[in-house]
Structure 1
């Protein structure tokens, strides 16, 4: 995707997770002790990850899965343990390296392909499932929709993703974040109205053969995210 807004935000995300927040992100996705606020984020992410995994078959043997925005690889590893052949991609080389280092010895090295780059690349071929957990939340709605449409062109059985729902709490967080010095900001989370998102998805030509399936919102302190499943009609 070549839209200027997408390229700009992608560059900001890469810089933030590759340099500014890499160590904090590794700690957040480990068993290391955390402060109260970050502990709620970890708990929320753990619950969302398990929700998305619950929407996948228990046995993924023979399935090819794309973990789009894999971070430090927790979902990737869980899917591989179910037998999936996983392509795990993230913009941050630092996080991908950390994920590779965490790959358990009992998972064959060739069962997971760790990649640094754009999560939407048609050259990677077709997948049975594509999962994008908390990796679309930094993009404007139009860009996120194009990513979802692109995923649908590459997936056969399901596209699972999360978005940041437009709630009063997230709206306040989004506004407050703009007061921080630019050098101290993380890439903004873009809240989305869930009804608007579903209406847009229903009108997209790329998704004419897909329909919304299960969905769930998770709120744990400072973590607010909404999971949505797209399945073939």
Structure 2
């Protein structure tokens, strides 16, 4: 499946099928034990990714690529960054806009559309948490190269790690009920992805970072430097 086809499928899922599921998951509302592990895992991963950036981001322009409900965007803005919060789902962008507290609003610009759109401009940093997990290796390599080439200091992103446990859990369909299950994640390993980046002509340097495993949330952070 091409990047465009996968992107459109992801948009349909988040904008029509599971908007309220993700709105609830990313809030303080009570959720099931399974989703509690996902929520805790996402909180841990977000903190690990943010730890790779300076505590003071005043003057920096940062792309939150796949901002979802806006938690990463709010954290970046709190550090003083000028944030472009971009997501393919207009419904999630609207949730993120509504949740952002007033003191941070001037620092965040929201955009519903493709994170790879070159008209978005250049950035000091790019953050992409769990927004690239559905793309096959060649498409992911091209997307990463496109984002890294427009980032002065590089990007921090996550992938689904290539583990037997993750794939067994995903095949069992236990992360979400069948009615609102997300598109299929594609697992990746750092060596294979580094090779795909080289094959795509990218000179960016890939380094694996933290892996977070909290119950039904398993994700691998990586960093790409231009």
- What is the match of residue 225 of structure 1? 219
Give the CA RMSD over aligned residues.
1.9
Match of 2:171 among 170, 175, 186: 175
Match of 1:11 among 8, 13, 21: 8
Match of 1:161, SS?
strand
Q: Are the structure 2 counterparts of residues 225 and 131 from structure 1 closer, same or farther at C-alpha, using a change threshold of 3 Å?
A: same
1:66-111 C-alpha deviation (Å, 9 max, x unpaired)? 000000000001000101000011011111000000111111x331
Q: Are the structure 2 counterparts of residues 84 and 162 from structure 1 closer, same or farther at C-alpha, using a change threshold of 3 Å?
A: same
User: Unpaired runs of 5+ in structure 1?
Assistant: none
Aligned residues, how many? 224
Instruction: Give me the whole-angstrom Cα distance separating, in 2, the residues matched to 1:214 and 1:58.
Output: 21
Instruction: Give me the whole-angstrom Cα distance separating, in 2, the residues matched to 1:9 and 1:183.
Output: 19
Matched-pair contact (CA < 8 Å) for 1:86–1:112: yes
Q: State yes or no: 1:187 paired with 2:183.
A: yes
Instruction: Give me the whole-angstrom Cα distance separating, in 2, the residues matched to 1:11 and 1:69.
Output: 13
User: Unpaired runs of 5+ in structure 2?
Assistant: none
Match of 1:82 among 79, 82, 92: 79
Instruction: Give the superposition deviation at 1:153.
Output: 1.4
Instruction: Give the superposition deviation at 1:165.
Output: 0.6
Match of 1:72 among 69, 72, 82: 69
Instruction: Give me the whole-angstrom Cα distance separating, in 2, the residues matched to 1:96 and 1:69.
Output: 9
Match of 2:2, SS?
helix
Match of 2:38 among 37, 41, 53: 41
Matched-pair contact (CA < 8 Å) for 1:202–1:211: no
Instruction: Give me the whole-angstrom Cα distance separating, in 1, the residues matched to 2:77 and 2:168.
Output: 38
